[in-house]
Structures are given as C-alpha cells and as structure tokens.
Structure 1
Amino acid sequence: MDEKPSTKKGPGFCSLRYGLAFIMHFSNFTMITQRVSLSIAIVAMVNNTEQYNISNFSAERPLEDTASNCSTSIKEFNTGASVYKWSPETQGIIFSSINYGIMLTLIPSGYLAGIFGAKHILGAGLLISSLLTLFIPLAASFGVTFVIVLRTVQGMAQGMAWTGQFTIWAKWAPPLERSKLTSIAGSGVAFGSFIILCVGGLICQVLGWPFIFYIFGSSGCVCCLLWFMVIYDDPIHHPCISAGEKEHIVSSLAHQSSSSRRSIPMRAMARCLPLWAIFLGFFSHFWLCTIIITYLPTYISSVLHVNIRDSGVLSSLPFIAASSCTILGGQLADFLLSRNLLRLITVRKLFSSLGLLLPSICAMALPFVTSSYMTTITLLILIPGTSNLCDSGFIINTLDIAPRYSSFLMGISRGFGLMAGIISSTATGFLISQNSESGWRKVFFLSAAVNMFGLVFYLRFGKAKIQDWARKETITRL
C-alpha cells in the first residue's frame, strides 16, 4: 500500500465481488450463530429456578413486566428439555473450549488456504461446524465432558473457516475497496449475534433449548451449498465475472508481490514490530468482545433480573449497533482514503483508537449505573458498536503490510485474539463466581486496562507500508 493504488472505477455495488462479500457475510453469520447459541441456551440449560431479588430495581425499569418475569422460573422455558447443574466455573470452561479448538487450526488452515485455495478449506470447516452443532443436545445428555470435546472439535472446524477469508480478499479486493468489502463480510458476525440473541430466548420458550442448535446447524448446511456454488478463490477463474470487473481487480492488484512459492519468513516476522502491534491489537479487542458475546445474556439475566426470553432480546440490541458500525466504518474509511483526506496509516490508527478507547470507557462506567435500567442498556449497546470500528483499523492491517501472507498472518492474529478469549472467559467465570457485584466490576476494569495496553502499542508501532520481507522471495522456511 505504499505504492499508489489504481483509482480506476470498476463495476458498481452490484458487481460480483460485492456478491461474494454478502455470501461471506452469510457464512460469518452462520458461524457466529453456531458459536453464540450456547451462550443464550445455557441460561435455560443450567439448573437455576431461584426467584430473583427485585429490591434494587430502579424506577426506570418496567416494574409490571419485571415482577411477572421474576416469578417465572427458567424451567418453564424448557418445554421438557433437560436441565443441568453446571457451575459458573464449568460454564466458563465450556465457553472457552471452542476457542481452544479454533486456536489449533487457525495458523495451519491459513497457511494451507494460501497454498491450496480457501474455497474448499473454508467450506469444509463450515460444513463440519454445522453438523456438530446439530449434535450438541445429544452431547449434553451424555455429560459436560462430551460437550467440551464437541465444542473443541467444532472450534477446530471454525478455525478452518475464519482465516482463509483473507486469502480470498487478497485476490478479490482492490486496495481502495478493502475496508468496504471486508466490513460487509465481517458485519455478518455482529448481525448473526443480533439474530441468535434476539430469537434464541423465544426458541427456548416455545420449542425448547435444543432447537436453537437444530435450527442454526441446519441453516449452516444450507449456507455450505451456497458457498461451494458461488465462491471461487480468485476472479480469474470465476465463470460468471464480467471482463470489465476482472480487468479492474487484476490491474488494481498488479503492484502486489505474488509467487507460487510459499516459504514463510518467520524470523523477519518475529522481529517486525508493526506486526506485533496488530497481534496485540487483536488480543485487546477480542478480550472484551469475547466477554460481551459470551456473557451478555448471563449479565443481563443476573444484573437486570429478566427472564430468558427478554434476556435474549435485550442481549441482541448491542449487535444492531455493531453491525451498523462495521459497515459504516468501512464506508467512511474508504471514503477518507479515496478522497486523499487522510493517509492510510492515519485511517488505521484513527479507527483502532475509536474501536479500543470508546468501549473501554463504556465498560468502566457499567458497574456504576446498574441502578439505571436504560443507562445500562445504552452502554451495553455502545460497547460492541464502537468496538467494531476496529474492523477498519488493525483488523485488516495485514492486507496493508503483507498481502502475500495475509491469510497466514490472519491466522496468527486471530490466535492471539482467541488466546485472549480463552483467558477472559475463564477469568470472568471465576471472578463472578466469587462475588457477582464486585466480580463484574473487576471484569470490566481489567478489560479496559487490556484495551489501553493494546491501543498504546499499536499507536506507537503500527505501520501501513508493505514490509521488506513481504516484497521479495526469501529462502527462510518453516
């Protein structure tokens, strides 16, 4: 990106590359619904029939609704489904298990996607994850160990499906459209979180919690069919692309280094501070995001004291803002670049700053506004929304500094993020099991501290120029 990219206009919004972005949006939607489904279902799965204490309710809350909600036990929403005695510590391990699996395959799948093509590796991962989702209720009936093992294997499949996407964008996305295309695809994560949290509680109430897994596992299988029919690894071999769009994409990427040889300059990467800035950005970003995605239904249920149906609806609201901010942030970033209003590195650092600083402020304020229903909901909406501005910051920065190795580096980046997710999920379960009120305060303050560390490091060392080790062939091997 240190060389000026082509400014020639290609086909418009209805072009094939935008169609691929929406297909990838659907696949990300599917994977996150399969991942988050357990977060909403577990409220109904655990053996918790105690009445809620409403003595601390604010006058801002709908007292008539909450009084009736609090008298309804979670067992009433199971419609005959099994209930399990899983402690908060056990739930934290279950939530973390999928991250362990993803970490096992992130790096090798990103490397293999760069060699053999992302289409089949991503599609296989999506299919396996969808099939395993269908078997979660059966695994739960055999015991918590089976759930942990299944979720770990499911994580391995999702690890295959996450990182290879950047291999596709390295060949499909013109430099001045990268933020737009990746934000459209990435917004599927926020939109999927919104849908599963919005309807998950209703599914538990009407059909029983097992149907969350049946419904979204089946939708994943349908998505696989669409994926294999529409997605191709590069525009040159796609049978339906127009000659004009193909020429526009190929010419805009002509300055990027490419090679059939896939040796990895590991030593140069390990010494590259701009790359470490991206890694630590991912670590900080995923720390708080994992807590919000995983524990939001539990937080709303325990702090705001609402039933599983309303907990799911309230939990879905933050992801409306997240999905909108992801797309709007990408549009704004590319607008600033195309009009030459800001340099590329300035855009990356600006959106990284907004995506790490703003949610930290909101998280630190949460423990002090629990008496206010509306303020708490507002802050919970702002955290995922502002956090997703990072999608136009360091999250796509590997495409700027090393497009040849973007898939491999995205695997490592997400590995750092998932490492943060594992630690934060487990730590959150431990902290809130000791004391719920002080535990949540420690959780949010720790998250803000981690975010600030990642932001300061990225602002100091982040770059947007193609690194020397990413320009030329190297003899260094894995």
Structure 2
Amino acid sequence: MASETIENITTPRFIPSTRFIIGLLVSFAFFNQYAQRQALPIGIVCMVNRTSNNIQVNSTLYMARMEYNTTVKPSTKDTAQIFKEKRFRWNEFEQQMILGAYWAGYILTLVPGGWLSMSIGAKQVFAYCLLTSSLATLALSTIYTMAETQLLLILIIVLRIIVGLGHGALFPASYTIWASWAVPSERGTLTSISFSGTHVGTSTMMLIGGIFCRYLNSGWMYVFILSGIFGLIWFPLWLWLVTDSPREHKKINQIERDYICSIIGRKGNTKSGQLIPLSSLPWKKIVRSKPVIALFVTHSCFGYGSGYVVNFADIVPAYSSLLFGLSITFGSLASLSANFLAGFIIKQPILSDWQYIFIIFIFVYTIGGLVYLVFGSAIPRKWALVVREEHNTNNENEASIDPSEIMLKT
C-alpha cells in the first residue's frame, strides 16, 4: 500500500509499519491466551483414565418382541498401550471443577483489566498478565511428577485460576492499545488482525494437542510446556516493540507518528513415542461421521459469531475497553455456569446426557442472536464520542462530529 496524501495528511504504508507490527504482536498475545486456555481442556482427554471407573451403561433393547438387558463394558483392546498415560482418576464433577476454575479467575480481572490499562497503560497490563499465565501454565506440566491426591486437585484448580486471572485483562487492554494506535479508517482492520489470533491459537492447540497426546508419552504434559513457552517468547518482543502511544515509540517512522497523532490527537505519555503414520488414521470414517461433522459446523458457527467484538469500538469508542470488560464478565459468568451445569447433568458419558447440553446451547445462542437483531446497532453513541484534541474545549462542535474524526479515549 503506497503512501498517499489525504487532506494535507500523509498516509504512510500500512505494510510494513509499526502499527501493523503491533497488530501482529497483539494477535500473537491472543494466540497465546487461547492456546493456554485450551491446553487443559485438550490435555484432560489424555490425562484422565476413565476405564478405571468401570462405568457400566445399562440399556434395554427390544427386538422381535424380546427384551434383552445388555451391559456395555469398556473394551480391553490395547488398553495397556492406549491408556498407560491416563493416570488421573477424576470423576466428571472434579473434571468440570478443574475446567471451570479458569473462568472463576477470568471474570475477576475483566473490569479491573480495562481500568488498569486506562490508568497505567495497556503495555504493562498485557506484558505481565500474559507472563503470569505463561508461568502458571508451565507449572501445570510439573503435576506429572506428583502423587494423585486431593491436594494435587486443589493445586491444579489454583493454577488454572491464576491462568484465568492473567487472561481476563487482555481483551479490555487491547481496546486501550488501539485507542492510541488505530485511526478510525484502520480500526476495523487492526482489531480484526488482533482477534484473529484467538481462532488460530485455538485451532493450532487442538491440532498439536491431539498429535502430542496420540504420539508422545505423557503428551498432555507437552501441551502445557509448549503453550507456556510461546508466552515466554512473546514477552520480550512485546516489551521491545510496543509502547502505549506513538509519541513514546523510539523506532516509529516520523511520518507514521505524525499521521496517527494528527488524527487521534494523542500527546501521550521429551519422551517421544512411536509415531503412527497419518495415513493410518480413519480419515474416511472421520469425514463421514455425522456427529463429527455436526461438531465442526457448530464450532464454525460459534467462531463466526465472534465478529461482534468490533462493535464496542464503533458504538462506545471512549469507553470501549471498560465496557467490553464489563460485557465479557457477563459472558464469562455464563461460561462458568455452563461448566458446572454440564458437571451436574452429565452423570455418565452417554449421548442422552449430552443431548440436553446441546439443547440448552441452542436456546441460549438463539436468544442472544434475537436480542442483538432487535437491539443491536453500529451507530456511535453521542455520549461516548471524543473529538480531536484541538476541539476538546469547544463543546458546541460535539453536536456535529464527523464520523471520520471519531477516536477512542483511554
């Protein structure tokens, strides 16, 4: 994208540029957040030995007017090989407690994260929150050496709460970053680049986590190690290349600095296992499985719905970080309650119990979509607008603000 002059303001290249690099680093941060978030939900599949519970599912089949009582027992085929690393014997409720612990910590720092980023700057909030979660995630890899006791269960819950505490502030802080770095015409692009890391982190960790659990001894342990190391790699890059505002950046091009500041008006302050060829996997059965395809479609639809997050920057630019933190608090409370509800409903891992869970999901998603269709908007609210610095003292101009001049306020 070549430089051009618009209304006496020189528009610098977008690629490469400092603001584009910051967008990539924010995206990498969200990649790390979602990789660490998904590490335990993925790892727990190959951590828990469900065969040790000797669960028996009794079902009655009526065939040719004859009643048969059939007891379904776990298959013993290759049990010693397949389940040799599944050492933990947590029941369903304990598993849901572990998974829900993340959200218990997450909701506690959503609003404070927005407030802190507005007060002391988003750079420090981003840096040390993600560093904390990375260290806690790495600590989870050490549970392999510990005896399975109630104390270990509590330790895992505490560590996941710490991971959630570190992640809660990241989304709100990102709005503060773009309040100082994204001009209105590029806000959607930079925000989209940032949030793309969430889906890349989730999909990457699902793929890598599945491979680790299948091909490596104690593969779940490496899921935690890898996601934690990614965060440690990101940390020094963030401190070196990111500042809270363009005026504080020492390496930014002067044209780019003037461009952003003139529009926004900021003065600113390993044990390896035997590998099985990928060709041996039952790919035909996978792609022909209706439940698997149904999960793919459901997950895709859920990911498609995440585009709403940009709407905060549109309608309440001055308070987007704080209000997004408040809004996502409600969303996280719903996620936390969903984990406990699943633990309460699912007494045994059978289809009928999971059907109830998905029926509830359908109802909740439908209500959310209908409410947004009726009440949603992309029109900025007058009470949440801020004009350029040179007009701040002229209250009469606020009634006729040009949309191209709208900016975010930290």
TM-score normalized with structure 1 length: 0.65
Q: Which amino acid aligns with 1:28?
A: F
Per the TM alignment, residue 390 of structure 1 is displaced from its structure 2 partner at its CA by 3.1
Q: 1:433 aligns with which of 347, 357, 362?
A: 347
Match of 1:12 in 2: 14
Gaps of 5+ in 2: 1-5, 57-74, 269-276, 387-391, 393-410
- 1:390 and 1:201 mapped to 2: Cα distance? 25
SS in 2 for 1:13: coil
* CA offsets 1:102-160 (integer angstroms, 9 cap, x no match): 11111011111011100011100010101111111445734211111111122111113
Alignment of 1:110 with 2:114, yes or no, is: yes
CA distance in structure 1 between the partners assigned to 2:169 and 2:182 by the alignment = 21
**Structure whose CA Rg is larger:** 2
Q: Note closer, same or farther for the CA distance 1:175–1:210 as it changes in structure 2 (3 Å cut).
A: same
- 1:422 is aligned to 336
- In the alignment, residue 354 of structure 2 is paired with which amino acid? W
Aligned match of 2:133 in 129, 132, 135? 129
Equivalent of 1:246 in 240, 243, 257:
257
| Segment drifting more, 242-251 vs 165-174 | 242-251
- Distance, in Å, in 2 between the alignment partners of 1:227 and 1:109 is 18
CA distance in 2, matches of 1:243, 1:215: 38
Amino acid of the structure 1 residue aligned with 2:26: M
Counterpart of 1:413 in structure 2 is 327
Question: Which range moved further: 243-252 or 397-406?
Answer: 243-252
Distance 1:168 1:372, change over 3 A: closer
Aligned counterparts of 2:156 and 2:125: Cα–Cα separation in 1:
25
The Cα of 1:451 is off from its aligned counterpart by 1.2
Partner Cα distance (1:32, 1:400) in 2: 25
What is the RMSD of the two structures over their aligned residues, measured on CA atoms?
Answer: 3.4
Letter in 1 for 2:303: N
In the alignment, is residue 120 of structure 1 matched against residue 124 of structure 2? Answer: yes
Bigger proportion of residues as strand: 2
Q: Is the 8 A contact 1:77 1:206 kept in 2?
A: no
1:235 shift after superposition: 1.9
Contact 1:183 1:391 in 2 (8 A): no
Identity over aligned pairs, percent: 30
Structure 1 residues 243-252 or 12-21, which shifts more?
243-252
In the alignment, the residues of structure 2 paired with residue 371 and residue 82 of structure 1 have an alpha-carbon distance, to the nearest angstrom, of: 24
CA-to-aligned-CA distance 1:294-335 (integer Å, 9 cap, x gap): xxxxxxxxxxxxxxx99xx99xx9xxxxxxxxxxxxxxxxxx
**Separation in 2 of the partners of 1:147 and 1:251?**
49
Report the counterpart of residue 240 of structure 2 in structure 1.
Answer: 229
Q: Distance in 2 between matches of 1:9 and 1:77?
A: 59
Select 2:192's aligned residue among 161, 183, 200: 183
Q: 1:390 to 1:173 in 2, by over 3 A?
A: farther
Residue 52 of structure 1: CA displacement? 11
Q: Choose the corresponding residue for 1:214, options 197, 221, 225.
A: 225
> Map of 1:288-327 to 2, 5 A cutoff?
none
2:295 is the counterpart of 1:380: yes
Write out per-residue CA displacement over residues 151-201 of structure 1, whole angstroms, 9 at most, x where no aligned residue. 112211111333211110122222232222222211111111112111213
On the 8 A contact 2:49/2:83 being kept in 1, the answer is no
Aligned residue number for residue 48 of structure 1: 50
8 Å Cα contact 1:103/1:156 also seen in 2: yes
Q: CA deviation at 1:86?
A: 0.8
TM superposition shift of 1:391: 3.6
Q: Distance in 2 between matches of 1:23 and 1:104?
A: 25
Task: Name the residue aligned to 2:33.
Answer: 31
CA deviations over 1:29-86 (Å, ceiling 9, x no partner): 1121111111121112112237999xxxxxxxxxxxxxxx99343x63576x571111
5+ residue gaps in structure 1? 54-68, 261-308, 318-369, 474-478
SS in 2 for 1:85: coil
1:432 to partner: Cα distance? 2.6
**2:373 equivalent to 1:462:** no
| Aligned counterpart in structure 1 of residue 360 of structure 2, from 431, 446, 453 | 446
Question: Does 2:77 align with 1:71?
Answer: yes
Q: By how many angstroms is 1:411 displaced? A: 1.0
Classify 1:435/1:206 alpha carbon distance in 2 versus 1 (closer, same or farther; 3 Å). Answer: closer
Query: How far apart in 2 are the matches of 1:459 and 1:82?
Result: 46
Q: Say if 1:174 and 1:77 are closer, same or farther in 2 by CA, change over 3 A.
A: farther
Deviations 1:319-378 (A, max 9, x none): xxxxxxxxxxxxxxxxxxxxxxxxxxxxxxxxxxxxxxxxxxxxxxxxxxx998443333
